[in-house]
Amino acid sequence: MIGINPYFARLRGGYLFAEIAKRTEEYRRLNPDKELIRLGIGDVTQPLVPEVIRAMHGAVDEMSREDTFRGYGPYYGYDFLVRAIIENDYAKRGVTVGEDEVFVNDGCKSDSSGILDLFSEETSIAVCDPVYPVYVDAAVMSGRGGVFDEKTEAFSRIDTLRCDAANGFLPIVPDADAPDAFRGLIFLCFPNNPTGKAIGREDLKAWVEYANRTDSVILYDSAYEAYISEDLPHSIFEIEGARTCAIELRSFSKTAGFTGVRCGYTVIPTELKRDGTRIRDLWARRQATHFNGVSYITQRAAEAVYSKVGKRQTEGVVRYYLENARVLRQGLSECGFKVNGGVNAPYLWVETPEKKASWAFFDELLEKHAIVVTPGSGFGAAGEGYFRITAFGSWENASKAILRLKAGDYAGNGRRG
């Protein structure tokens, strides 16, 4: 017999960005002469830096000659890239990572869902609310979501860790001694998408201690690590004890504009074991089955990000986006909005005026100001009453959006709209 995976039917609603695109398209159709400012989707807009392009051209030339042509590469990444990652992202911060603990991938989205393959179907999942929706959808598709409760807007088998203004957008660490203490996979993402919140050492330490005490495993997504501008941990492995309870996901997407090139990596320490089995070994086996590696050209491009020139150039682009975030943060605050994030992250998480519903305010900004943002409710129940704005657009558009708001409903400090 053949049957369809029944869990797909449990996924919630349409995809957030498809709905945004639909409403935006409708607005364009009705207002063809209005110039839209898109501050919604979290994709980069600046081109790859020259040093990365140079490395890619060099690798393409190698592929054109018989003596330097490469076919299938190593499943887990070429040594030159793995060593550059260890040296620059870990050793320089005093963190020891072994070459057999790094798994180069095509960006961290695939691994953030694929990692579920390693754990039993009974494994419990905890995610923050609001959340990068991929973690939830992947859990649901793999049969670990349970059923959706319309009232609580939550899946019965997924624990949600609420992040709101009351806890400063940091999930509260549960009591490890409570009889019903959560034991399972905990997805943490810092700097956070969508809230833009980054985590400090003490708070991260508390999560590591909790995970070790409850035998939980933390999936630490630090796709936005490059945006940390204050004295905060860049890796969970800077925290003592993390090697026995954490997996780290990293990406070149937002660090170096690789959203279209596709490259990232996952770090799984050899000490991380559950049921007496090394998680790293399971992942190696899983990858060898599901994945044939990242192209040589892409890995040479990623290596170039770590060269002296490449680093200077990519850091320049990150600074450019952070400056956009600063312009948006200051401008929105002057307009009277309550703004979070945007200091250690390319995202700003903003309260809607008078606690308007996220989608209603999305429509209002579009109709009145031709500005596209992302409604907070698309990231979970706790996102209702917020919107996310990204700094990944151009500086001109960030400035223009603020001028438009100030010339419109949000003149000076007093809100009129």
Ligand X SMILES: Cc1ncc(COP(=O)(O)O)c(C=O)c1O
Interface ranges with ligand X (CB under 6 A):
42, 107-109, 112, 132, 189, 193, 221, 223, 251, 253, 259, 264
Q: How far is the CB of 342 from ligand X (least distance, A)?
A: 15
Q: How far is the CB of 251 from ligand X (least distance, A)?
A: 3
CB of 259 to ligand X, least distance (A): 5
User: Token pair of 119, please?
Assistant: 């754990």
Q: Which is nearer to ligand X, 185 or 370 (CB)?
A: 185
- Closer of 227 and 362 to ligand X (Cβ): 227
Q: Which is nearer to ligand X, 78 or 135 (CB)?
A: 135
Question: Whose Cβ is closer to ligand X: residue 51's or residue 111's?
Answer: 111
User: Six-digit token pair at 389?
Assistant: 């704005």
Distance from C-alpha of 280 to C-alpha of 377, rounded to nearest angstrom: 36
Shortest approach of ligand X to residue 265 CB, angstroms?
10
Q: CA-CA distance, 104 to 231, in Å (whole number)?
A: 27
Is-contact 247 108, C-beta < 8 A? Answer: no
**Cβ closer to ligand X: 134 or 411?**
134
Instruction: Tell me the closest approach of the beta carbon of residue 275 to ligand X, in angstroms.
Output: 27
Residue 223 beta carbon to ligand X: minimum distance, rounded to whole angstroms:
4
* Residue whose Cβ sits closest to ligand X: 107
What distance in Å separates the CA atoms of residue 307 and residue 267, rounded to the nearest whole number?
21
Parallel/antiparallel/unpaired status of strands 148-149 and 217-221: unpaired
Based on CB atoms, which residue is closest to ligand X, 214 or 299? 299
Name the minimum Å distance from CB 226 to ligand X: 12
Contact yes or no for 248/239 (Cβ under 8 A): no
Min CB(221)–ligand X separation in Å: 5
Closer Cβ to ligand X, 131 or 401, answer by number: 131
How many residues are present in the chain?
417
CB nearer to ligand X: pick between 107 and 342: 107
Distances (CA, A) of 67 to 44, 72, 297: 36, 15, 16
